[in-house]
C-alpha cells in the first residue's frame, strides 16, 4: 500500500490518508509542526508527514533549514515502547537506517556526524531533528524530522552542503528513496531491541577520533571526540586531558 501510494500520488497531489498513515502537502510551514498536531490528536504509530517544500524548516538550535523544491522534507511520528530516557535511541536508529539505505541504493560513502547529520565527502546532505512528547513516565510520541537534499541545489548560504543530484550527476526518484527508507526504518524498529543501535551507528561515523567544536545555546567546547556513550552523549577530550560529556549541540569538524 505504501509503495503504491508513493508511486501514484506523492509530489503530484495533496492528500491525507489516515488508513495509509501518510499526509502530503505541496507546501507547508514545517512538517514538524503538522506532525506535532497529529501526534497530539492520537494519530497511529509510524504516521508520516511530507512536504514538497517548507517555508519555516528548521534545524537544531532553531537554525533555519532551507527546504526548496526538489528536496525530501518529512517527519515520521513514532510511538515506541521505550522510557523517555531511551528516546535518543530512535534518533540513532533513524540516522543509521538512512545511511544504510543511501549506501544500498546509490553506492555512496554516506557517513553520520554526531548527533545525526549525514554527510558524503564531508558535505551535508541530510539533517535530522527530533521532538518528544511524554505522558507521565512514558513516551507519548517521538517525532523525527528529516531533510534530504535530493534534487535541489544547495545555495551559497549552504557552502558545506551537497545533494544526491550533485554527487551522482543525475536526478533521483524521491518517491523511491522515501518508500525504501520507510520500509527499512520500520523493519529495523520492529526487530531492533535498541541494545546495540549506538555501537552499530559508531561503525559509520566520521566524528570519532577527530578534533571537533561543539556549539550549544550556552557555550562552545573544543577537543578530540573519543566516544559516544550508551545515552548518546559525545565524550570530548579537552586540551587539559579532562573528559567532558556533551548531551546536545552542533558538531563542527
Residue pLDDT, tens place only, 36-92: 999 999 999 999 999 998 886 555 545 555 667 899 999 999 999 889 999 999 999
Taking the C-alpha atoms of residue 51 and residue 225, their distance in angstroms, rounded to an integer, is 35
Cis ω for the linkage preceding 115 (within 30 of 0): yes
Of the pLDDT bands very low, low, confident and very high (cuts 50, 70, 90), residue 19 is low
Closest CA to 140 of 232, 191, 93, 78: 78
> Which DSSP category does 253 fall into?
-
What's the full length of the chain, in residues? 253
Max CA distance (Å), the chain: 58
| Terminal Cα-to-Cα distance of the chain (whole angstroms) | 42
At residue 143, the pLDDT reads 98
- Tell me: the pLDDT tens digits for 166-208? 999 999 999 999 999 999 999 999 886 778 999 999 999 999 9
Q: How many CB atoms are closer than 10 A to CB 96? A: 25
CATH code of the domain occupying 2-204: 3.30.930.10
Q: Where are the domains of the chain?
A: 2-204, 211-252
pLDDT band with cut points at 50, 70 and 90 for residue 1: very low
The CA distance from 48 to 33, in Å, is 12
CATH topology of domain 211-252: SH3 type barrels. (2.30.30)
> Lowest-pLDDT range, 5-14, 49-58, 126-135?
5-14
**Nearest one of 71, 78, 220 to 155, comparing CA atoms:** 71
72: its cell numbers: 525530501
Strand, coil or helix: what is 30? coil
128: left (phi over 0), alpha (psi -120 to 50) or beta: beta
Residue bearing cell 530516557: 85
Amino acid at each position: 500500500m505504501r509503495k503504491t501510494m508513493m508511486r501514484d500520488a506523492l509530489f503530484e497531489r495533496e492528500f491525507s490518508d489516515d488508513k495509509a498513515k501518510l499526509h502530503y502537502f505541496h507546501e507547508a510551514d514545517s512538517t514538524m509542526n503538522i506532525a506535532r498536531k497529529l501526534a497530539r490528536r492520537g494519530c497511529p504509530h509510524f504516521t508520516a508527514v511530507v512536504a514538497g517544500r517548507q517555508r519555516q524548516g528548521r534545524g537544531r538550535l532553531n537554525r533555519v533549514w532551507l527546504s526548496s523544491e526538489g528536496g525530501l522534507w518529512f517527519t515520521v511520528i513514532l510511538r515506541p515502547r521505550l522510557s523517555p530516557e531511551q528516546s535518543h535511541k530512535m534518533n540513532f536508529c533513524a540516522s543509521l537506517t538512512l545511511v544504510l539505505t543511501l549506501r544500498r541504493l546509490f553506492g555512496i560513502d554516506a557517513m553520520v556526524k554526531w548527533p545525526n547529520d549525514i554527510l558524503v565527502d564531508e558535505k551535508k546532505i541530510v539533517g535530522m531533528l527530533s521532538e518528544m512528547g511524554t505522558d507521565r513516565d512514558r513516551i507519548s510520541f517521538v517525532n523525527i524530522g528529516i531533510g534530504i537534499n535530493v534534487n535541489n541545489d544547495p545555495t551559497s548560504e549552504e557552502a558545506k552542503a551537497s545533494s544526491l543530484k550533485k554527487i551522482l550527476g543525475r536526478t533521483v526518484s524521491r518517491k523511491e528513496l522515501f518508500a525504501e527508507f520507510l520500509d527499512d526504518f520500520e523493519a529495523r524498529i520492529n526487530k531492533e531491541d535498541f541494545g546495540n543501535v549506538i555501537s552499530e551507528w559508531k561503525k559509520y561515523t566520521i566524528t570519532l577520533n577527530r578534533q571537533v567544536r561543539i556549539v550549544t545555546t550556552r557555550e562552545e567546547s573544543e577537543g578530540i571526540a573519543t566516544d559516544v556513550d550508551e545515552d548518546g552523549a559525545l565524550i570530548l577530550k579537552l586540551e587539559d586531558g579532562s573528559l567532558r560529556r556533551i548531551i546536545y549541540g552542533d558538531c563542527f569538524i
